[in-house]
Amino acid sequence: MEISHRPLSGVKAGEKVRLVYIDAGHGLRGRLVAMGLVPGTILTVINNNRPGPFVISVKNTKVMLGRGMANKIIVSDTEVQNK
Amino acid sequence: MEKKITVAIAGNPNSGKTSIFNMLTGARQHVGNYPGVTVEKKEGFSKYKGCEITFVDLPGTYSLTAYSVEELVARNFIIDERPDVVVDIVDASNIERNLYLATQLIEINAPLVLAFNMSDIAEQRGLTFDIEQLSELLGAAIVLTVGNKAKGKEQLLEAIIKTAEKNRKRRGPKIHYGTEIEDELAKIEQIIKDAEKELTARYSARWLAVKLLEQDSEIVSKIKDNSVISATAESIEHLKNIFRDEPEIMIADRRYGFISGACQETIKSTVELRHSISDLVDSVVINRILGLPLFLLLMFLTFFLTFKLGKFPMEALELFFNRLSITVAGFWQQGSESWLKSLLVDGVISGVGGVVVFLPNILLLFLAIAFLEDTGYMARAAFVMDSLMHKIGLHGKSFIPMLIGFGCSVPAIMATRILENRRNRLTTILVLPLFSCGARLTIYALFIPAFFPEKWQGPMLWLIYLIGIALAVICVKLLRLTVFRGETIPFVMELPPYRVPTFKSISIHMWQRGWLFLKKAGTIILAISIILWAAMSFPKPNEKLLKDVSPEKAQQLKLQSSIIGSVGKAIEPALRPLGFDWKIGTALIGATAAKEVFVSQLSIIYAVGESEKSRHTLREKLQANYTPLTAFCVMLFCLISTPCIATTIITRQETGSWFWALFQFAALTIMAYVITLIVYQLGSLFF
């Protein structure tokens, strides 16, 4: 795992990242998967203003997440993974 | 003979499901609850080519897992009720994500029709579909629709009838999960077929195997056979080793793979996708600085519309019921003591009238809510309020019913329908009565000026309201720690693109809520009004006593001798520790009909009549009889205890269970008693 993995919560607004892993229990993971958040998907962070939730764009929809959740979503840079 | 078919309507939230449902059924709808759960069930009816079609609107969901009640309800409806057709409403401008639900419907082999809704927006975005080929790949008829413009209705009905005619046993396409997973599925399938005969009679073995690999809690709990359990555990372990991730995720991944495989050749995009206008609006609406003031402004407008503008039709209705009771009373001679007259005038007309006058509030409130929901603002409101509400343990959207609760608990409880999550909704419903409603203000308005110096009057009123809010927050916390323990609410929500609402959908929404409310007023509330009337009118005092006394005195005597008067006296020992006498007790019992009745009951007990001038007299009498501490305790008790029977009835209706309604009633009453007791006893030490 030489690629730099980091939580989604640390990604700035406007950045595009690739989803690697969701570090959460069944319920939450199931919910996120159903909303299009499967490993490999590209997401764009739309809003990352503290305090308050987090807005990302995935599969052409805007999804709002709690901040705690954004901590549990592990992402990597899109370019690095593409090589 | 007419053929009857049942059609279930499934789809993601924000896919325009409601608009399609309205398009298909018009106003012929029935709203209720799925048995045993607080999930709304809408049914609608239509006729087409000699078929009588019942449409059932399933809860809007993203998938069919067992994680939420809504998804389970949708899934079990399709599996158990076996609708002849399942129509999946798909947002055509966002096919990929929306088809995820379709893959799960394919997995349970539902007779599927896909409505590619909002196809006009998809077209604007430059999307073109090869419907024929896509339909072939997905094994379902596909119809292009625009729900809010009623386009595609005929074609959709046609597809429904055709699909219903085909045998349900036809096999749809099979989603291939990859060799490794398929191998494990085959193993589990084989074992299930032998070991769980009962289950395989209801579900297909393959579907059960998929659900077991996904660790679907409902299916896992149904498995009794140990060989199935151990085989599943083995398979999961094996797959985890291969994929370094949960099989659940791999299965989901394959579903998306199936979708993109199907879409690759059949959907062409000529324009780069953007949410231009929505993004622009969002930059203001969910802006860190502007978001909150805008939200508060919209909330103020909602409240203003509901209660300030609603006041005019409300007054007209009050006038109407007044006239009506005068007219009805006119059928009897002046001064007649007929019990039938009293039943009609004091029981039926004043009881039902007292509730029906809220109809304008309810219609206007739902007008505002429908508008906020249909434009897409409601999701943003949750965003803006989320950091605050989340600390309490509720969803951002809970704020709206709570605000309405300051006007009246009845529409507020109905407004909790905007909360999709059942637990959130129940918690909100249960604590809503603590938001002091307008009817209780009449009690504060009577007591505060009577007992507190002018400069304390304002702060005192604030204090009462704040106590209510604080108690509500504490109760939410308590409920989360006890009854709804362990339920973390994963906060994930879609922010749908902004849309212009249609008049039709808003008016249908308003009409449904109003009608539901009227139905309750006409049935249960009518019955309870009559019971309360009887308890207040019987038994009558001795005729001789009533001779040569003033009308006020006569009313007082009648109330004293009635059941409510006796009960008030009987419970006096229990109320003594709160500082209440039987007079307050009697008024409190009468006030279960509606809180404002408390004031009129006290007027009767003190035989002062009910004009504005007599309000002063009543205040003087109260001053002579009670201390400020007692006055505060009366207000406290009225604040905490259930506002009125209508609240209990609406809670029953909205939660679908008497248990919650009675739980709310009992818990609030006990809490009111205990808190008032403590305050009075401690207070008497100092004052």
**Structural domains in chain A plus CATH codes:** 5-78 (2.30.30.90)
Question: Higher pLDDT residue, B602 or B91?
Answer: B91
Q: What pLDDT, in 10s, does the model give residues B282-311?
A: 888 877 788 888 988 988 888 788 878 888
Cβ pair B76, B155 in contact under 8 A: no
Mean pLDDT of A69-80: 83
Q: What pLDDT is stored for residue B614 in this prediction?
A: 67
Q: What pLDDT, in 10s, does the model give residues B322-333?
A: 899 889 888 888
**CATH code for the domain in which residue B9 is found:** 3.40.50.300
In a domain, B659, yes or no: yes
**Taking all residues of chain B, what is their mean pLDDT, rounded to a whole number?**
85
- CA-nearest of B669, B651, B644 to B439 is B644
Cβ pair B54, B68 in contact under 8 A: no
Provide the shortest C-alpha distance from residue B163 to chain A (in Å). 27
Peptide linkage before A51 cis (omega within 30 of 0): yes
Whether residues B143 and B189 fall in one domain: no
Whether residues B568 and B434 fall in one domain: no
Whether residues B154 and B188 fall in one domain: no
Whether residues B27 and B151 fall in one domain: yes
Question: Higher pLDDT residue, B70 or B138?
Answer: B138
In a domain, B174, yes or no: no
Q: Is-above-0.80 flag for pTM?
A: no
Whether residues B161 and B183 fall in one domain: no
Distance CA B537, CA A8 (A): 68
Listing from the earlier edge strand, what are the strands of the sheet with A61-65? A5-7, A73-77, A16-22, A42-47, A54-58, A61-65, B492-495
pLDDT-derived band at A81, boundaries 50, 70, 90: very low
Q: How many CB pairs under 8 A join A and B?
A: 112
Mean pLDDT of B491-517: 82
In a domain, B443, yes or no: no
Whether residues B145 and B216 fall in one domain: no
- Residue in chain A nearest B244 by alpha carbon: A21
Using a CB–CB cutoff of 8 Å, tell me whether B253 touches chain A. yes
Q: What pLDDT, in 10s, does the model give residues B657-686?
A: 899 999 999 999 999 999 999 999 999 998
- Residue in chain A nearest B272 by alpha carbon: A60
Q: What pLDDT is stored for residue B670 in this prediction?
A: 95
- CA-nearest of B64, B22, B14 to B43 is B22
**Tokens encoding B675:** 């808190």
Mean pLDDT of B236-249: 89
What's the domain range around B666? 535-686
Whether residues B315 and B464 fall in one domain: yes
Whether residues B195 and B65 fall in one domain: no
In a domain, B286, yes or no: no
Beta partners for B33?
A: B40
In a domain, B446, yes or no: no
User: Taking each helix axis from N to C terminus, what angle separates B438-451 and B612-625, rounded to the nearest 10 degrees?
Assistant: 60
Whether residues B431 and B305 fall in one domain: yes
Contacts of B58 (CB under 8 A, 6+ apart): B8, B9, B10, B11, B73, B74, B77, B78
**CATH code for the domain in which residue B236 is found:** 1.10.287
Using a CB–CB cutoff of 8 Å, tell me whether B67 touches chain A. yes
Mean pLDDT of B561-567: 86
Q: CB-CB: which of B253, B275, B492 is closest to A63?
A: B492
B-contacting residues in A 36-75 (Cβ below 8 Å): 36, 38-40, 46-47, 49, 51-53, 55, 57-66, 69
Distance of CA B569 to the CA centre of its chain: 39
Q: Between chains, do B491 and A53 touch, taking CB under 8 Å as contact?
A: yes
Distance CA B508, CA B586 (A): 42
- CA-nearest of A67, A79, A78 to A8 is A67
Distance CA B415, CA B401 (A): 5
In a domain, B118, yes or no: yes
Whether residues B240 and B136 fall in one domain: no
Q: Between chains, do A35 and B249 touch, taking CB under 8 Å as contact?
A: no
Beta partners for B32?
A: B41
Q: What pLDDT, in 10s, does the model give residues B7-43?
A: 999 999 888 898 899 899 887 778 777 776 667 788 9
Mean pLDDT of B481-497: 73
In a domain, B274, yes or no: no
Q: Which of B248, B264, B283 is the last residue of a domain?
A: B248
User: Taking each helix axis from N to C terminus, what angle separates B247-266 and A26-34, rounded to the nearest 10 degrees?
Assistant: 0
Using a CB–CB cutoff of 8 Å, tell me whether B421 touches chain A. no
Provide the shortest C-alpha distance from residue A66 to chain B (in Å). 5
Which residues from A are below 8 Å from B263, CB to CB? Answer: none
ipTM of the complex: 0.89
Q: What pLDDT, in 10s, does the model give residues B149-204?
A: 889 999 999 999 999 888 655 667 888 998 899 999 999 999 999 888 888 888 88
Which residues from A are below 8 Å from B63, CB to CB? Answer: 30, 33-34
pLDDT cut 70: percent of chain B above it: 94
CA distances from B358 to B308, B440, B645 (A): 12, 15, 14
| DSSP line for B133-200 | HHHHHHTSEEEE-BGGGTBTHHHHHHHHHHHHHS-TT---------HHHHHHHHHHHHHHHHH-HHHH
Residue B483 has pLDDT above 60, yes or no: yes
- CA-nearest of A55, A71, A61 to B291 is A55
- Residue in chain B nearest A38 by alpha carbon: B253
pLDDT-derived band at A51, boundaries 50, 70, 90: low
Mean pLDDT of B522-531: 77
At B339, give phi and psi (nearest 5°). Answer: -75, -25
Please give the angle made by the CA atoms of B311, B317 and B321, to the nearest 5 degrees: 140
In a domain, B237, yes or no: yes
Whether residues B374 and B474 fall in one domain: yes
Q: What pLDDT is stored for residue B53 in this prediction?
A: 93
Number of domains forming the structure of chain B: 4
Which own/partner pairs from B545-552 qualify as long-range (CB within 8 Å, at least 24 positions apart)?
B550/B607, B551/B609, B552/B604, B552/B607, B552/B608, B552/B609
Q: Between chains, do A69 and B490 touch, taking CB under 8 Å as contact?
A: yes
Q: Between chains, do B245 and A64 touch, taking CB under 8 Å as contact?
A: no
Q: Which of B446, B465, B486 is the last residue of a domain?
A: B486
Question: Higher pLDDT residue, B406 or B672?
Answer: B672
Whether residues B160 and B193 fall in one domain: no
Q: Which of B130, B165, B200 is the last residue of a domain?
A: B165
